[in-house]
Amino acid sequence: MRVHHLNCGTLCPAGGARFVLGEGGFFSRARMVCHCLLIETNDGLVLVDTGLGLKDLQDPTRLGQRFLRRNSPRLDPRETAVAQVERLGFRREDVRHIIPTHFDLDHIGGLADFPGAQVHVFRDEHAAAMVPSAKNAKFGYRPVQWEHQPSWRQYAVEGERWFGFDAVRVIPGLSTEVLLVPLVGHSPGHCGVAVKTEGSWLLHAGDAYFNHKELNPVSPRSPPGLALFQRLRSTDNAARLANQERLRTLVREHSAEVKVFSAHCAVELDRYAVAQPVTAERSGIASPNLEPASGAGGRAA
C-alpha cells in the first residue's frame, strides 16, 4: 500500500502572510494548499479530499466570487487530482473511493472528475450540504459540484474508540484500514480520515485546524487571520475548539504512532512532499483492529 500526498489547489489569501500565517510580510500573499491523499489499495485508488476540479478551473464562477476574491486560487490544471492521478500512471477510473473530510468547495471540487467513485461521508454532513440551514449556508457548499449525482455512501456517527476518539467508523469493503474520525465543529459532519500504514497511522484532520502552530503541544497558537476565520466559519465553535484540544493531546501522547496534518497548511504538506511515499505490507482482506497495537490509545469499546 502506498500513500501519495498531493496539493490539489494552491490558495493565496489576501490579508498579508503575517496576518494569515503568522510569518512573512504584511503585504505578501500567504500560501495555502489543498492537501489531499491518494491511497493505492487492492480495491483501487482511494482519494481523501479532491481539492479543486477541472470544471472549477474551466468555469471559476462555480467557486463563487467571494471565494475567488478572498483566496486568489492559482487555478492550475496540473494541480487537479485527476491530472496528478494520470501523471502517476493511473486512469481516473481507477479511483474507486473518495472520502471528503467535509463538503466545502475546495475539498470536493474534483468529485465530478471521478464520476464512477463511491463517496463516503457522514450523514450529518451530507444532510447539511443538501439542505443548508441559514447558519451553515454561509459555508462553501456549492451544489453545482455534485450535480453529476455521485454514488453516496452515508454513515451514522457511531463506532469504536481509537486513540481517545469516540465513534470511529471503518470504511467497509476496503482491505486497507481507513477510518472516519468525527471532528465536528467546522461543519456539522466534518471528519478526519485515518489511514493505517506500516510505520504509523496518518490522520488527515481536514479543517479541524489550519496551521501547524495550532497543534504545538506546549504552546499552541493560531495566526490572527486564521483564528478569526475559523471562529466565524464554525457551525459549532465550542466543538471545534474541543476537537483541537483532543488533537493536541493525540500529538503530545502518540506522536510516534499517529502523524496528524490538516488540509491547508503548506508547511505540513512540504514535510511529506520531500519524503518517499509511505508503504505498508498487507495480504488479503485486512481485519480492522481499532485498538492501537501498543495499547496506548483508546480501547475498542
Cell numbers representing residue 124 in the block: 450529518
Say if 104 falls within a structural domain. yes
Out of 9-23, 55-69, 79-93, 166-180, pick the least confident: 9-23
Q: What's the pLDDT band for 15 if we cut at 50, 70, 90?
A: confident
pLDDT in tens, 205-224: 999 999 999 999 889 999 99
Say if 286 falls within a structural domain. no
Q: What's the pLDDT band for 282 if we cut at 50, 70, 90?
A: very low
Say if 242 falls within a structural domain. yes
Say if 284 falls within a structural domain. no
Backbone CA torsion sign across 198, 200, 201, 202? negative
Does residue 95 surpass a pLDDT of 60? yes
Say if 159 falls within a structural domain. yes
Q: Looking at residue 46, what is its pLDDT?
A: 97
Q: Which residues contact 213 (CB under 8 A, 6 or more apart)?
A: 22, 220, 221, 222, 223
Domain of residue 64, residue span: 2-277
Q: How many domains does the chain have?
A: 1
Say if 205 falls within a structural domain. yes
pLDDT in tens, 41-67: 999 999 999 999 999 999 999 999 999
Q: Looking at residue 17, what is its pLDDT?
A: 84
Q: Output DSSP code: residue 261.
A: E
Report pTM.
Answer: 0.89
Gyration radius of the chain over CA positions: 18
Cell numbers representing residue 126 in the block: 451530507
Say if 40 falls within a structural domain. yes
Q: What's the pLDDT band for 287 if we cut at 50, 70, 90?
A: very low
Does residue 114 surpass a pLDDT of 90? yes
What CATH number does residue 219 fall under?
3.60.15.10
Residues in a beta bridge with 180: 169, 193
Say if 164 falls within a structural domain. yes
Distances (CA, A) of 126 to 73, 102, 282: 25, 9, 32
pLDDT in tens, 138-151: 558 999 999 999 99
Average pLDDT taken over every residue of the chain? 88
SS3 content of the chain, % helix, strand, coil (to 5): 30, 20, 45
Does residue 291 surpass a pLDDT of 70? no
